[in-house]
Structure 1
């Protein structure tokens, strides 16, 4: 199921989205790290970027990592320049 989701749904969708973004002058698209998304952490973001390129980055919300049991500082270090936006709220 997961391979189908990546190969048949996500990669084709984001390849088309990146192409459309470029056609309209958009060079950065940030995906928020929600736990219910296919892309929600450094590993899954880099999996997508390796397929569709660095137009895709992370809209990093550290509060999501708290409820997912993750380490926001470690995630930021791993993501590096792939973070395109950060927003936070009290948690």
Structure 2
């Protein structure tokens, strides 16, 4: 039996949003050139933002997403892991 699926409310964070600035600073700290882009897909972040929690999605090197040929570029994935460590540890103890 089929029925309606989840609703994904659109969201956009401003480049000057504290969480965006924090992540860009973390990227700069590890020498990663980060680019802000829009994404038209539905994802967990839509649900998180709908509950008032700012969320950023990271493109960790996925290719041909949601196809039988989906794969990941491992060096890009590892860069995304480094970015998350930097984001979690930069300015430790400060609110973002």
The TM-score normalised by the length of structure 2 is: 0.26
More helix by share: 1
Whose radius of gyration is greater, 1 or 2? 2
More strand by share: 1
The TM-score normalised by the length of structure 1 is: 0.27
